Structure 1
Amino acid sequence: MLLRNYWKSRHKNGRGPAPCWIRPGLAAVLWFCVTQLGSGGGAVGETKSVVQKDAEFDVTYNDTVTSENQTIYAFNHTVSRNKTEGVRLSVDVLSQDLDSTILFVVRQKQAVLSFQVPLILRGLYQRKYPYNHVGRTLCQPPTRAASETQYFFVDVSTLSSQGTNYQLRVSRVESFTLQTDKKFSFTASPSQPQYFKYVFPDGVDTVIVKVNSDMTFPCSVMSIQDIQCPVYDLDNNVAFIGMYQTMTKKGAITVQRKDFPSNSFYVVVVVKTEDEACGGPLRFYPLRPDELIDAGNRSKVLDVVVTPAINSKVYVMGMLFCLGIFFSFYLLTFLMACVENKRMNKKRELFQNPSDMSPAETASLLGKNGDGKTPASPYEYGSFADNGSTLSSEAITDSATSTDNNYGYMERSLDSVGRSRQESLSSVEEDDYDTLDDINSDKNIVRTKKFLCVADLARKDKRVLSKKYQIYFWNIATIAVFYALPVIQLVITYQTVVNVTGNQDICYYNFLCAHPLGALSAFNNILSNLGYVMLGLLFLLIVLKRDIVHNRALVRNDLNALECGIPKHFGLFYAMGTALMMEGLLSACYHVCPNYTNFQFDTSFMYMIAGLCMLKLYQKRHPDINASAYTAYACLAAVIFFSVLGVVFGKGNTVFWIIFSVIHILATLLLSTQLYYMGRWRLDSGVLRRMVYIIYTDSIRQCSGPMYIDRMVLLVMGNIVNWSLAAYGLIERPNDFASYLLAIAICNLLLYFAFYIIMKLRSGERIQCLALVCILFTAVIWGFALYFFFQGLSTWQKTPAESREHNRDCILLSFFDDHDIWHFLSSIAMFGSFLVLLTMDDDLDTVQRDKIYVF
């Protein structure tokens, strides 16, 4: 009542700063209320004796305190502007009774620190952990004078009527200021946090603060705070200001001078009361809300070292290195284009002067051997052998003597091409099918032949197919725009939250090699994705050049463009190049702040690239029956949907893994049926009846083998691989579901590619030098890339503290880490893989399509 009247006399209108009973967090006001107004907190009219003692450093004081007495210890020490010494206060109380707690208030110049002993720290579910031994480092306010004497007071009081014994000791911390590149070891616990000061030396603008320990647990927190009082060094307040991160064995934070006006900062290390934040086991739940839990020994030995970060020259070197690598591919492509152009010009000159050529040279330029046959003799399917040359001798003579006015290429009119197609020796003999009137329109009659050629599956109008496959490009371009814009907005928000809150646990960086630039925390991880964009653009330019050349050949009615080779449809190639560029953009967005909630940014277009490559590989020999863009993207969307579900719900969820494995196996069977029957089956109510009938008539009754042996071999191997992957997922249940799903896509792509190469060689076709070099080069690059990928510098499947255990220093130019090298190599390998798909059938450009086999 006395204090209330005093406050009202000072503030007649009831406004102004709140009194001590309204703002209990202000320790200075609390000390004034307890020590100066006389009521103390005991009974009304009770007096308290106050004893002040001159105290000294490094002396242990054993005293007793009750509600009737209060002890004040007065200390003084000399503070120098050029040298900072820490002052540490240690208190030990023998009683664990919450009613016998002692309040310690340290009054300093510009700072007040207060705490009670036993110190009660709360953990998860408000569990209480008492600590009787408390050690705190006192905040040191800066001084402008060269040297001055500062005083501080330690007030000890309690509201308990029972006498409580305590020990008090104040000592100096000689190694309070950290030195650059010098390791310092110390011990910390939840009730005895530690912090040290670091001052930026001249010429150093960025440093990396590294804290290490040989002990995984107890979990701890490292924090970087500005030089100010108070210093937040307890588990329940360390996250209030500055930058902070949890750690087990490793912790690292990059600090820039521009963020600290005083050119110095505190390195604070706090041991947490519980280990859940670092992935440790949950402790038992207390039976009673007020139950105290013995925390046990949670001391942890750590060491801290501050090292200078890279300077601007290293940034420039890193960027020039990155640009140089990928611009070299542009230069190499330009040189190869010049060589190819020179070769074609020479070829035109020879065509324009046929008298200068020998018959062998003429045949060679026309893609023939000396006998007029194709250099690649097709393999025999049983008794199915080569039944004619690609072009008749008359066609060779006519083509060799007719030249274009501008280019000198082989030409014929559309009418002559049509007659040639009808008159040429076809791969389909009349006895291979019934001579029905609808042979040219009924696809079932054509596709049920035992041996198919590309001409049989390239019967649709080319203009219709071109528009069909161009939809792949336009759809993925639309998807890219609507996907990328919200992604960019989201990661900017993530980065802003990290910068404002200082919470380093939001993003899973390799903190030992995370170089900031501007607002970005890990610029090197973003820069290394430039290769995907640049090489994707280069691939689009290469495809565009081929597209233009092919269209010009069609305009000139070039025989090879109209009648020979794999049908040229570039829509899927454009989609693949766009997907590669988007993979770079979205991977860069993901690495702005990699974490559990945005992993799909980095993997979505990986699934799309794998799917598009498989579709392109299938389209080469099956242009008429390849999937439409809408169906393909719908399936890829389903894959991405399951990827999200697997990460969110798949960890340890048996039901999810059973459902996914069943869907995986069913999808494999449906796709196998689609591929085996070339789309000539229907998914309806009678599908099971037809399956049983086929098994009975073909396998049980007649014991006949499969009609399409090669396709059956591929599909059996594919089912074995996919069923094995499904069983592995169901049994092991890998934590990284996204990588598991990507592994399924890559395994199927590699299986089909290997089958394609084997069947191509078995068909008597050959792989040209450029394609062979691309295959070997790409295989080697993929091998090195996967090595760096599996280094695993961070992982969002674990807690941030556990992820940091895998962090490692930069290994390339002091700027790039293992994952950056994975970005470099994988972008080059993907570009090489695309070139393989683009060039692997160039040897067929002079072979008629009714001589190119389907497999």
Structure 2
Amino acid sequence: MVLRSCWKSRHKNSSGPALRWIRSGLAALLWLCVTQFTCGSGAVGETKNVVQKDAEFDVTYNDTVTSENQTIYAFNHTVSRNKTEGVRVSVDVLSQGESPTLFVVRQKQAVLSFQVPLILRGLYQRKYPYNHVGRTLCQPPTRAASETQHFFVDVSTLSSLGTNYQLRVSRVESFTLQTDKKFSFTASPSQPQYFKYVFPDGVDTVIVKVNSDMNFPCSVMSVQDIQCPVYDLDNNVAFIGMYQTMTKKGAITVQRKDFPSNSFYVVVVVKTEDEACGGPLRFYPLRPDELIDAGNRTKVLDVVVSPAIDLKVYVMGMLFCLGIFLSFYLLTLLVACLQNRRIKKREVFQNPADMSPAETGKTPASPYEYGSFADNGSTLSSEAITDSATSTDNNYGYMERSLESVGRSRQESLSSVEEDDYDTLDDINSDKNIVRTKKYLCVSDLARKDKRVLSKKYQIYFWNIATIAVFYALPVIQLVITYQTVVNVTGNQDICFYNFLCAHPLGALSAFNNILSNMGYVMLGLLFLLIVLKRDIVHSRALERNDLNALECGIPKHFGLFYAMGTALMMEGLLSACYHVCPNYTNFQFDTSFMYMIAGLCMLKLYQKRHPDINASAYTAYACLAAVIFFSVLGVVFGKGNTAFWIVFSVIHILATLLLSTQLYYMGRWRLDSGVLRRMVYIIYTDSIRQCSGPMYIDRMVLLVMGNIVNWSLAAYGLIEKPNDFASYLLAIAICNLLLYFAFYIIMKLRSGERIQCLALVCILFTAVVWGFALYFFFQGLSTWQKTPAESREHNRDCILLSFFDDHDIWHFLSSIAMFGSFLVLLTMDDDLDTVQRDKIFVF
């Protein structure tokens, strides 16, 4: 009528057939629109019988709808600005026609529509029908203190046979959640639930915890802003807000700043399938339109909202973390002062060069007496034969000065000569074969190369790892920032595997406490570098003043590997912090790469102590470590249950163990070339068959046999069990080999008559205890990316230290301290040999 009056007012003077035709068309169009609006889903031109009923809350309406009639239920309720009440619509279809029934809820600012049976889709577009549907109506905000709002429920269908249904509209009790008060409810895929929470005064952050005693069915918890519509179905719950899948546990930390209305909805949806939570896959439907019986997927849950920690706890956590590691700086400074004071007292009362045998622990030898294992009747080194043949008591002073001048001129002449050029001389190779194949070796036999050349060789370790750290860390930082941005923008809490019950956000970071706890690696790594630097400076000054102990006594001092170890410890802290920005299976190598490097560098340092001339070069060592990291990535990506991968890896592991064992047994004089098989057969024939002689190097053989037993056992375990966490399995191999070699070193050191000084002994005992506690907290397993995010959250636990740090944070604290202690053990373990001549120090 309005359109017709407007048309007449503008065209009252117009006439003609064309105008009349246009007017007739507009009238027909207007009639069609009105018919469609009033008839709902009726056919064009079909007149429906529309019945409107005044309805009441908490009354069940049992009615029938057909294609010829439409029923409208009118409800009204009073809405208060200071009180929020939930309204829930429940529908149950008792008899279904050939077409679904459509329910449309018209509110003041929103429209909610759904059909029954409700068809929800799962993986591969599988369809699950639900005849019982319950939906909660969103509550638009009101500005008035109190007002009456009306809403209507329209019921219609295209089925000519008719559909019998039940409709019930009721108020939701406890729609508004109370702080620290648990509320239990029931949900299913067709009956989602959501509740409102309002931030109380003085609370800026809360933790929403949803728990259930049932693993399955899989469900989703979501936190959404107060708005209409509310996305509360499996196919749209991820459209807005923050969400995460859950089985038994779910937790989301919510900050007031993210919700301008100072309130939010907690939405819980039960999924149609369990694949997202690690459940079994259902069968694939034979026909695309096949409907699958979903079965009983009702789940009982409870929700509680608790205030999170305040700023005071953040400050206490940071001060605690800083105070622990600064105390190590103070303790180190105190120990250094005590040692300097003791050294000064010793210099006053006694010259270190004239120490008695009881004080040195060894019988000092004169420069022309090169010792060996006297009890075993070992042969003398080539230097011993030459020196003893040419030295006399009368010209001893002359010979000492001449040897010193010759050594100095030789060092100057070789200052620019590379080690490889020096080693490729034929006479040097011949000398190597003579010296290194002796039955008993002393450190002097394997410390024959020029000190300046070796110093440059081992400094490459530091510069290479520093270069690796820069080029490794920059893309890592960029990637984890991207991960965190994606989590914050999408709200998908399944991307990162946190301990959500103890994940304290700060700024854009979701779990600041897991990042802060890695401070110990950086601070203690820097402290270790400072300790090494002090020792390096002291040793350099001793060399400058031609100190006899520095030149001819003790284990040769090369600090390049120590610098590399300290740098690796600092990088482990940085990359572990980057990993914990968003821990998941795609960036696991950030947390483990430098662990492999630390284990490898420690083994190299142990070997270098007694074999300074034949230790691996930095390029070879880092190439091998790169291969380990490469296999670690392959194992995580392809190793889960892949028998072919485990066979290949086990074969490579065993072959590498055999190759390394042979190289160590023959002191680097064994060559891998075309004649290796012929030499192996010859050795087996001559040593085992013809003479039945035992191994020439007993101690080395014992170590290598034990090492092969351990590594072959680990390879067999991996091949049989196929552990899911390949990265930890590979790290366990490295740690087992390191511990085996370290134990062998300690045993052989004591067996050779050497002693462990008090400082080193304290470091060993302290480190062993700390490692024990650290491993205990490591194996608590608060989260794991080997499982689905929902299964990982089953292991989540509350904070246990200062309400800020969890078990994994304590692992960070203790493991950083234990690594620092392990480095100190390597640094101080052979301090008892600083006044013992190198031809009296045995190689093992």
Same-fold status (TM-score > 0.5): yes
Task: Return closer, same or farther for 1:602/1:410 CA change in 2, 3 Å cut-off.
Answer: farther
Task: Return closer, same or farther for 1:319/1:419 CA change in 2, 3 Å cut-off.
Answer: closer
Structure 1 Cα separation of the partners of residues 214 and 202 of structure 2? 35
My pick for the range that moved more, 499-508 or 31-40, is 31-40
What's 1:216 paired with?
215
| CA-CA distance at 1:774 after TM superposition | 0.3
Structure 2 Cα separation of the partners of residues 538 and 17 of structure 1? 99
What's the TM-score, normalizing by structure 2? 0.90
Task: Return closer, same or farther for 1:527/1:361 CA change in 2, 3 Å cut-off.
Answer: closer
| CA-CA distance at 1:188 after TM superposition | 0.1
Structure 2 Cα separation of the partners of residues 429 and 553 of structure 1? 25
| CA-CA distance at 1:688 after TM superposition | 1.1
Partner of 1:268, secondary structure, is: strand
Task: Return closer, same or farther for 1:204/1:436 CA change in 2, 3 Å cut-off.
Answer: closer
Q: Summarize deviations over 1:626-666 as a string: whole Å, max 9, x none.
A: 00000000000000000000000000100000000000000
Task: Return closer, same or farther for 1:119/1:422 CA change in 2, 3 Å cut-off.
Answer: closer
| CA-CA distance at 1:220 after TM superposition | 0.1
Structure 1 Cα separation of the partners of residues 458 and 23 of structure 2? 71
Structure 2 Cα separation of the partners of residues 443 and 457 of structure 1? 9
Instruction: Pick one of 459, 477, 489 that aligns with 2:466.
Output: 477
Q: Is the 8 A contact 1:181 1:307 kept in 2?
A: yes
Task: Return closer, same or farther for 1:833/1:431 CA change in 2, 3 Å cut-off.
Answer: closer
Q: Is the 8 A contact 2:364 2:836 kept in 1?
A: no
Q: Summarize deviations over 1:655-684 as a string: whole Å, max 9, x none.
A: 000000000000000000000000111111
Partner of 1:165, secondary structure, is: strand
| CA-CA distance at 1:39 after TM superposition | 6.1
Q: Summarize deviations over 1:21-45 as a string: whole Å, max 9, x none.
A: 9999999999996865456444442
Structure 1 Cα separation of the partners of residues 365 and 126 of structure 2? 79
My pick for the range that moved more, 781-790 or 434-443, is 434-443
Unaligned runs of 5+ in 2: none
Q: Is the 8 A contact 1:432 1:449 kept in 2?
A: no
Task: Return closer, same or farther for 1:127/1:382 CA change in 2, 3 Å cut-off.
Answer: farther
Matched, 1:191 2:190: yes
Q: Summarize deviations over 1:602-624 as a string: whole Å, max 9, x none.
A: 00000000000000000000000
Q: Is the 8 A contact 2:497 2:785 kept in 1?
A: yes
Q: Is the 8 A contact 1:53 1:74 kept in 2?
A: yes
My pick for the range that moved more, 263-272 or 683-692, is 683-692
Partner of 1:477, secondary structure, is: helix
Task: Return closer, same or farther for 1:100/1:356 CA change in 2, 3 Å cut-off.
Answer: closer
| CA-CA distance at 1:62 after TM superposition | 0.8
Task: Return closer, same or farther for 1:559/1:793 CA change in 2, 3 Å cut-off.
Answer: same
Q: Summarize deviations over 1:327-359 as a string: whole Å, max 9, x none.
A: 000011111111122222x33651699999999
The Cα RMSD (Å) is: 7.0
Structure 1 Cα separation of the partners of residues 841 and 24 of structure 2? 88
What's 2:345 paired with?
347
Partner of 2:77, secondary structure, is: strand
Structure 2 Cα separation of the partners of residues 18 and 783 of structure 1? 97
My pick for the range that moved more, 33-42 or 780-789, is 33-42
Structure 1 Cα separation of the partners of residues 20 and 798 of structure 2? 51
| CA-CA distance at 1:430 after TM superposition | 28
Q: Summarize deviations over 1:267-295 as a string: whole Å, max 9, x none.
A: 00000000000000000011111000000
Q: Summarize deviations over 1:760-793 as a string: whole Å, max 9, x none.
A: 0000000000000000000000000000000000
What's 2:649 paired with?
660
Structure 2 Cα separation of the partners of residues 134 and 667 of structure 1? 63
Partner of 2:472, secondary structure, is: helix
Task: Return closer, same or farther for 1:426/1:174 CA change in 2, 3 Å cut-off.
Answer: closer
What's 1:161 paired with?
160
Partner of 1:45, secondary structure, is: coil
Q: Is the 8 A contact 1:622 1:854 kept in 2?
A: yes
| CA-CA distance at 1:95 after TM superposition | 3.7
Q: Is the 8 A contact 2:725 2:786 kept in 1?
A: yes
Unaligned runs of 5+ in 1: 363-371
Task: Return closer, same or farther for 1:400/1:496 CA change in 2, 3 Å cut-off.
Answer: farther
Structure 1 Cα separation of the partners of residues 21 and 699 of structure 2? 87
| CA-CA distance at 1:46 after TM superposition | 1.3
Task: Return closer, same or farther for 1:707/1:79 CA change in 2, 3 Å cut-off.
Answer: same
Task: Return closer, same or farther for 1:110/1:669 CA change in 2, 3 Å cut-off.
Answer: same
| CA-CA distance at 1:406 after TM superposition | 30
Partner of 2:621, secondary structure, is: helix
Q: Summarize deviations over 1:571-617 as a string: whole Å, max 9, x none.
A: 00000000000000000000000001000000000000000000000
Structure 2 Cα separation of the partners of residues 647 and 392 of structure 1? 50
Q: Is the 8 A contact 1:427 1:453 kept in 2?
A: no
| CA-CA distance at 1:442 after TM superposition | 1.5
Seq. identity, %: 94
Q: Is the 8 A contact 2:35 2:47 kept in 1?
A: no
Q: Is the 8 A contact 2:446 2:612 kept in 1?
A: yes
Partner of 1:74, secondary structure, is: strand
Task: Return closer, same or farther for 1:798/1:13 CA change in 2, 3 Å cut-off.
Answer: farther
| CA-CA distance at 1:374 after TM superposition | 3.2
My pick for the range that moved more, 231-240 or 349-358, is 349-358
| CA-CA distance at 1:381 after TM superposition | 16
| CA-CA distance at 1:94 after TM superposition | 2.3
Structure 1 Cα separation of the partners of residues 202 and 288 of structure 2? 55
What's the TM-score, normalizing by structure 1? 0.89
Structure 1 Cα separation of the partners of residues 24 and 810 of structure 2? 55
Q: Is the 8 A contact 1:473 1:574 kept in 2?
A: yes
What's 2:317 paired with?
318
Instruction: Pick one of 845, 850, 853 that aligns with 2:839.
Output: 850
Q: Is the 8 A contact 2:381 2:445 kept in 1?
A: no
Task: Return closer, same or farther for 1:180/1:393 CA change in 2, 3 Å cut-off.
Answer: same
My pick for the range that moved more, 37-46 or 521-530, is 37-46
Q: Summarize deviations over 1:794-818 as a string: whole Å, max 9, x none.
A: 0000000000000000000000000
Q: Is the 8 A contact 2:40 2:156 kept in 1?
A: no
Structure 1 Cα separation of the partners of residues 619 and 541 of structure 2? 30
My pick for the range that moved more, 435-444 or 703-712, is 435-444
Structure 2 Cα separation of the partners of residues 101 and 684 of structure 1? 79
Structure 1 Cα separation of the partners of residues 563 and 550 of structure 2? 20
Task: Return closer, same or farther for 1:379/1:217 CA change in 2, 3 Å cut-off.
Answer: farther
| CA-CA distance at 1:520 after TM superposition | 0.1
Q: Summarize deviations over 1:700-751 as a string: whole Å, max 9, x none.
A: 1100000000000000000000000000000000000000000000000000
Q: Is the 8 A contact 1:426 1:850 kept in 2?
A: no
Q: Is the 8 A contact 1:409 1:558 kept in 2?
A: no
| CA-CA distance at 1:81 after TM superposition | 1.4
Structure 2 Cα separation of the partners of residues 740 and 69 of structure 1? 69
Q: Number of aligned pairs?
A: 843
Task: Return closer, same or farther for 1:14/1:793 CA change in 2, 3 Å cut-off.
Answer: farther
Task: Return closer, same or farther for 1:564/1:324 CA change in 2, 3 Å cut-off.
Answer: same
Q: Is the 8 A contact 2:79 2:148 kept in 1?
A: yes
Structure 2 Cα separation of the partners of residues 49 and 205 of structure 1? 54
Task: Return closer, same or farther for 1:627/1:12 CA change in 2, 3 Å cut-off.
Answer: farther
Structure 1 Cα separation of the partners of residues 567 and 23 of structure 2? 61
Partner of 1:499, secondary structure, is: helix
Q: Is the 8 A contact 2:415 2:452 kept in 1?
A: no
Partner of 1:297, secondary structure, is: coil
My pick for the range that moved more, 428-437 or 211-220, is 428-437
My pick for the range that moved more, 1-10 or 398-407, is 398-407
Task: Return closer, same or farther for 1:532/1:61 CA change in 2, 3 Å cut-off.
Answer: same
Partner of 1:787, secondary structure, is: helix
Partner of 1:627, secondary structure, is: coil
Partner of 2:7, secondary structure, is: helix
| CA-CA distance at 1:161 after TM superposition | 1.9
Task: Return closer, same or farther for 1:457/1:729 CA change in 2, 3 Å cut-off.
Answer: same
My pick for the range that moved more, 422-431 or 466-475, is 422-431
My pick for the range that moved more, 819-828 or 687-696, is 687-696
Task: Return closer, same or farther for 1:550/1:42 CA change in 2, 3 Å cut-off.
Answer: same
Q: Is the 8 A contact 1:411 1:559 kept in 2?
A: no
Partner of 2:64, secondary structure, is: strand
Q: Is the 8 A contact 1:508 1:796 kept in 2?
A: yes
What's 1:767 paired with?
756
Q: Is the 8 A contact 1:402 1:411 kept in 2?
A: no
Partner of 1:166, secondary structure, is: strand
Structure 1 Cα separation of the partners of residues 822 and 16 of structure 2? 74
Task: Return closer, same or farther for 1:643/1:376 CA change in 2, 3 Å cut-off.
Answer: farther
Structure 1 Cα separation of the partners of residues 662 and 24 of structure 2? 76
| CA-CA distance at 1:111 after TM superposition | 1.1
Q: Is the 8 A contact 1:403 1:411 kept in 2?
A: no
Structure 1 Cα separation of the partners of residues 492 and 163 of structure 2? 40
